[in-house]
Amino acid sequence: MLKNVAALLLDEVHPFELGVLCEVFGLDRSDQGLPVHDFAVVSAEGPVLRTHAGFTISTPHGLDRLEEADLIAVPAGGRFVDRDYPEEALDALRRAVDRGARVMSVCSGAYALGAAGLLDGRRCTTHWRHASELARRFPRAVVQPDVLYVDEGQVITSAGTAAGIDACLHLIRQEYGPDAANALARRMVVPPHRDGGQAQYIERPLPRTPCDTVGETLAWMERHLDREMTVEQLAAQAHMSPRTFARRFQQETGTTPYRWLLRQRVLLAQHLLETSDETVDTIAGRTGFGTAAALRHQFVRSLSTTPNAYRRTFRGPGATVEVA
């Protein structure tokens, strides 16, 4: 049973990610029938730490406090991507896993777990902005950049910032059941479970090249996303053979005409869902998907969420949401 929880802090810790851990594990809500944990904030680098926001945090607890923890959670920090980690802290994380305890990271805290060798051979995640570097720095880790969190038993990693809440509620659900997780989520005024992953939050600008021979065709495609297009038609537009056009397109954009067009259509659909009250059927027509079902299919494949769920998350003021 999860009883003893420690948050392991390093210099330039992010206050929000630390706050998530304090909110979930550090508050006594026994009057509401919620579980109570023996919670401590532990410093890996002296009794006073700087936060990324500029103020300091002091704690009486040193690394020895980790030896009795059932869960050690590492919140994100400002320099976590390219810093060195205290070997004593890494040893404490390794010992925790060796004795059967769990470790968890929030956002870039995954780098500390990676430095301890705890991501080797395991699926993991971090904030989408840091995922490529995590995979480069720890090549034996199986990085999944599109998810909110990954549970590999003793090692749990979560994506950027608020995804730490999702991972913590997942743990509460595992340990105490759905009623406890739902009650805690209501207390925190957050959803007990979020559909999809962080793919819907990732900025994905399409590559541009300075010497486009297909540049005019790209501009034409962008202006006519609602039309059916074939490689043969696009090649004729560019005054090339289909084979030459496909090869030039791949060289200059890094992808195929079909994938480029599909991504542009999804981007336009995202924009319309965020900024307009148009129905999903209308948006499907304007973006070239034809039907709401086709738009939904590609949205789920690309962003791991539905058009209506995306609109609920990102809609602007006054936007309406269709009833599924």
- Give the model's confidence band at 201: pLDDT under 50 very low, under 70 low, under 90 confident, else very high: low
- Give the model's confidence band at 103: pLDDT under 50 very low, under 70 low, under 90 confident, else very high: very high
Domain 215-314 matching CATH 3.30.300.30: the answer reads no
Domains of the chain, by residue range, sit at 4-197, 215-314
**How far from each other are the two terminal CA atoms of the chain, in whole angstroms?**
40
Q: What are the distances in angstroms from CA 313 to CA 210, 270, 319?
A: 35, 11, 11
The percent helix, strand, coil of the chain (3-state, each to 5) is 45, 15, 40
| Topology of the domain covering 4-197 | Rossmann fold (3.40.50)
- Is 211's pLDDT higher than 70? no
Catalytic, out of 107, 124, 168, 211 = 107
- Give the model's confidence band at 192: pLDDT under 50 very low, under 70 low, under 90 confident, else very high: confident
Angle 242-253/257-275 helices, nearest 10 degrees?
60
107 given a catalytic annotation:
yes
> What's the whole-number average pLDDT of the chain?
88
Q: What are the distances in angstroms from CA 109 to CA 74, 195, 203, 285?
A: 5, 23, 22, 43
What average pLDDT score do residues 299-318 get?
78
Domains 4-197 and 215-314 share a fold: no
- The C-alpha atoms of residue 6 and residue 103 are separated, in whole angstroms, by 10
User: In the chain, pLDDT over 70 holds for what percent of residues?
Assistant: 91
- Give the model's confidence band at 133: pLDDT under 50 very low, under 70 low, under 90 confident, else very high: very high
List all residues 6 or more positions away from 143 whose beta carbon is below 8 Å from its beta carbon.
124, 125, 126, 131, 134, 135
- For the stretch 24-32, contacts whose Cβ atoms lie closer than 8 Å and that sit 24 or more positions apart, written own/partner, are 24/165, 24/168, 24/169, 24/172, 24/184, 24/188, 25/71, 25/73, 25/168, 29/184, 29/187, 32/183, 32/187
- Is 67's pLDDT higher than 70? yes
- Is 116's pLDDT higher than 50? yes
- pLDDT at position 324 is 42
